[in-house]
Amino acid sequence: IIPTILFVIFSRFSIRQETRYMLLGNALLSDLVYLVFYTLSAALHAARVHLPKEACVLLLFLLAVAYCGGLFTAAAIVLDTYIAILFPLRYIAILPPSRTKKIIVLLWMCSGAFPGIFFLVLSSTHGFAPCVLETCSVPVILILTLNGTDVVKLCFWLAATVIFLCLSLIFCCYAILYFKTKQLGIWEGICSRASVTFLMHNTVLFFYFFPLLALIVESFLCINVVIRLQTGIWVSLTVCNVLMILPKVLFPFLYGLRYREIAGPLKSIVRRKHLRV
């Protein structure tokens, strides 16, 4: 469904000139890149194909860039909604299409710079020890990283901190929007558009928060030798292969198909209805 939504967004001039659709397309593109490279990594690991160290590092870097791109774009979508609701008369002046394109470029630059700094630090300190094991699997490398050097552990905790700061920003913006709009009368009824939107955002936020929280708890348990290494690998496999994929699967259905401008062309493509007088 993601390539179809991207086709609808980029093939229609009126849609791709709106800020919310440009950010939505960028988020879906990041998720698509992440899913493609993660599926490739999982398939190679299942087929017992041993990648060279350089290819494994490149694959991990692309996964980190795609994941950060999706996370930063999700934060940008929240800020866009925040500005659109609280400053409706100044919204077009604050976020015109030209500025939105610059913001998207900046998001990709930050998505590449943030993992790049950590990968340079790890390469300079020879912290890519798990790749020497010829096991280019993200869950396995993630759990083995916790048994690495202090520099590797520091990079892991810094990355987790930045991710939680982004998610905390998203949660705070939605909380402010809820309390600001509660007195406007748009929350009447469970099936109102505001209630459904709020529930949708909370669902996506939960599936973004919970896997990271599970990884943090697992990290503490592994460091304190409360659980065995094999158990930690199974937990990492479940988190990376199921829980971290769920928000990227739900995102196109909860966000993309919610807009009539996108759902209408998609229905016409699938059903191929003929107009009748």
Q: What percent of the chain has pLDDT over 90?
A: 7
What digits encode the pLDDT tens for the residues 223-254? 666 667 777 778 878 888 888 888 888 888 87
How many structural domains is the chain composed of? 1
Domain of 260 in residue numbering reads as: 1-275
pTM higher than 0.85, yes or no? no
Question: What is the SS3 assignment for the chain?
Answer: CHHHHHHHHHHCHHHHCCHHHHHHHHHHHHHHHHHHHHHHHHHHHHCCCCCCHHHHHHHHHHHHHHHHHHHHHHHHHHHHHHHHHHCCCCHHHHCCHHHHHHHHHHHHHHHHHHHHHHHHHHHHCCCCHHHHCCCCCHHHHHHHHCCCCHHHHHHHHHHHHHHHHHHHHHHHHHHHHHHHHHHHCCCCCCCCHHHHHHHHHHHHHHHHHHHHHHHHHHHHHHHCCCCCHHHHHHHHHHHHHHHCCHHHHHHHHHHHCCCHHHHHHHHHHHHCCCCCC
Of the two residues 62 and 140, the one the predictor is more confident about is: 62
Q: For the domain that residue 237 is a member of, what is the CATH number? A: 1.20.1070.10
What digits encode the pLDDT tens for the residues 114-167? 888 877 877 776 555 544 455 677 777 766 666 666 777 777 777 778 777 877
